[in-house]
Amino acid sequence: MSKKILTASVSALIVASFFFFGTGRRASGASGPPGSKASLQGRVAGILGEYLEATGQDSSEFAAALRELSPKTVLERFAPEKIQAPEDPAQKLQWYEISNAEWIVRNKIARLVAIEDVNLDENKVAVLCTAREIEAVRALQKKHPIAISRMISPADFPPRDAVYHNYQETLAFLQDLQAANPNLISVFSIGQTHEKRQIQAIRFNTTEKGSAPSQKPGIVFMGTHHSREHLSTEVPLLLAKHLAEAYRAAGKDSEFARLLEQRDITIIPLVNPDGSEYDIATGSYRWWRKNRKINGDGNIGVDLNRNYGFHWGEGGASDQTSSDIYKGPAGFSEPESSAVRDFVSAKTNVKVLLSYHTFSELILYPWGHSNSPVDNPKDRETFKKLAETMAQWNGYTPEQSSDLYIASGDTTDWAYGEKGIFAFTFELSPKDMWGGGGFYPGAEAVAKTFQANLKPALYLIEVADNPYKVLGSPAD
Ligand code: 0X9
Ligand code: ZN
């Protein structure tokens, strides 16, 4: 077996394994009572079998090696979080609202717990503390007429990952950028999710704002189709910040200012806010992948990267609502994928698109639903050239999506197949589970991964006027 195939197979198996471990409900190939060793082995074998069948790859040697791993080893390698000790309830932080908190009493509270927010008009504060700490605050009631009530915790990342942005923080981040750069930036919603959250977009265009059409060459960056891939929100957020700051810092006649003045750039950092909030809502990650569609049979969620309506429902997508790769009842059945479709369809100036995912350190280009390369030889060469150039900077592996595994209904097949857009999927860091943290690579991954991927993003912005120029020949 060549190293290339082994690499692709390992990546695919890791991802397939997460489908199972992420929900504990992927049933294919299961045998034995749920949770038993036989059941686990059966499911691992089932997932592998499905993958090998879908890709038609001859990986019997690799399959045999994997089947020899004990379920415990599989858990340790692929899902270490699942075997960590449960959290100590005494340490669990909870939000409380304390009213009648005048200045004097606020100072007494501040000596006992962390005051996170103060509402001066209503004389109330929000605190985040343990049950024991709030009892100490309660003792102040002997002298002061304060009232204490529990608040529903806003979904948030565990403290060690506080650098990541939840839904509210993402909106605030974008709005702050707009407020500081009104000539360059506009922020608007491209649609609403099942749970009525906004799918927010930030646009960099020195002349057109909001959803107004533009003649300038367009490019779209997106993040977090998959809930647990939070790093894929952070990288586009930092890209937005970088563009704003670099534009302000650049002289009026600088090359960078001129580039931004001639482009129409949209960044949609959080395509699946319902899923991503659900993933962090308990304070421990839930390994959630899909959106939060109520399927009506007790199973929740559609895989948004199987729901785009181009070759929808072919290989590598499931019709089982319980599956982590459930394709949905129809192509574009979901508000999130439909919002992206409508937004991109309206922007006929878009030539390039990049959808960030995690993880495996790959640069993927169409097709993903088929092993055949794209028909048009010039497009094929352009995809390859763009991917290989970007790979020099981030060190990722450039390849056709189907080399990873066949999957239909993804964003990039639709964008290229229906709209002729040069569309890429980046699988960001880490490269694998061993040492990298998988879907949850920690705070230190954010700046590093952004830095590694800045040049590729700027390059795509630069070539968006005519991607064929990378071939050194005139446009069609
Ligand atoms: O399976 C996916 O949707 C992507 N991988 S992830 O681990 N982020 O879930 C890869 C999509 C690449 N596209 C195809 N292989 N068609
Ligand atoms: Zn993904």
Q: How far is the CA of 224 from the centre of ligand 2 (A)?
A: 7
How many Å from the N-terminal Cα to the C-terminal Cα in the chain? 40
Q: Look at ligand 1, atom 2, and give the residue with the nearest C-alpha.
A: 305
Strands 185-192 and 198-204, bridge-based pairing: antiparallel
Residue 264 bridge partners (DSSP)? 218
Query: pLDDT at position 39, please?
Result: 47
- Closest ligand (CA of 225): 2
Give per-residue pLDDT as tens, 197-213: 999 999 999 999 999 99
Residue 407 Cα to ligand 1 middle (Å): 7
> Could you tell me the residue ranges of all domains in the chain?
3-82, 89-152, 167-471
Distance in Å, CA 326 to ligand 1 centroid: 13
**CA–CA distances in Å: residue 71 to residues 44, 144, 323:** 8, 57, 21
| Cα 92 to averaged position of ligand 1 atoms, centre (Å) | 35
Catalytic residue positions, numbered: 427
Rounded CA separation 66/77 (Å): 12
- pLDDT value at position 382? 98
Q: Give the predicted TM-score (pTM) of the model.
A: 0.73
Q: Which residues line ligand 1 (CB under 6 A)?
A: 15, 226, 229, 305, 357, 364, 368, 401-402, 404-405, 407, 410, 425, 427
Those residues whose beta carbon sits under 5 angstroms from the ion ligand 2 are 226, 229, 357
By most ligand atoms within 8 Å of CB, the mutation choice from 226, 279, 360, 369 for ligand 1 is 226
pLDDT digits (tens, 9 = 90+) for 328-378: 999 999 999 999 999 999 999 999 999 999 999 999 999 999 999 999 999
Q: What is the pLDDT of residue 436?
A: 85
Atom of ligand 1 nearest to the CA of 402: 15
Q: In whole angstroms, what is the distance from residue 189 CA to residue 269 CA?
A: 12
d(CA 84, CA 76): 10
Question: What's residue 127's pLDDT?
Answer: 85
pLDDT at 23: 29
Q: Give the pLDDT score at 92.
A: 74
User: Which pLDDT does position 76 carry in this prediction?
Assistant: 56
Which amino acid residue places its CA nearest to atom 7 of ligand 1?
A: 15
- Residues in the chain predicted with pLDDT less than 70, given as ranges, are 1-89, 152-154, 473-476
CATH of 167-471, one of 1.20.950.20, 3.20.20.100, 3.40.630.10, 3.50.50.60: 3.40.630.10
d(CA 303, CA 289): 7
Please give the pLDDT value at position 130.
Answer: 86
> What is the best residue among 230, 302, 427 to mutate for testing ligand 1's pocket, by most ligand atoms within 8 Å of CB?
427
Pick the CATH number of 89-152 from 3.90.380.10, 3.60.20.10, 3.40.1780.10, 3.30.70.100: 3.30.70.100
Ligand whose nearest atom lies closest to the CA of 433: 1
DSSP state of 373: P
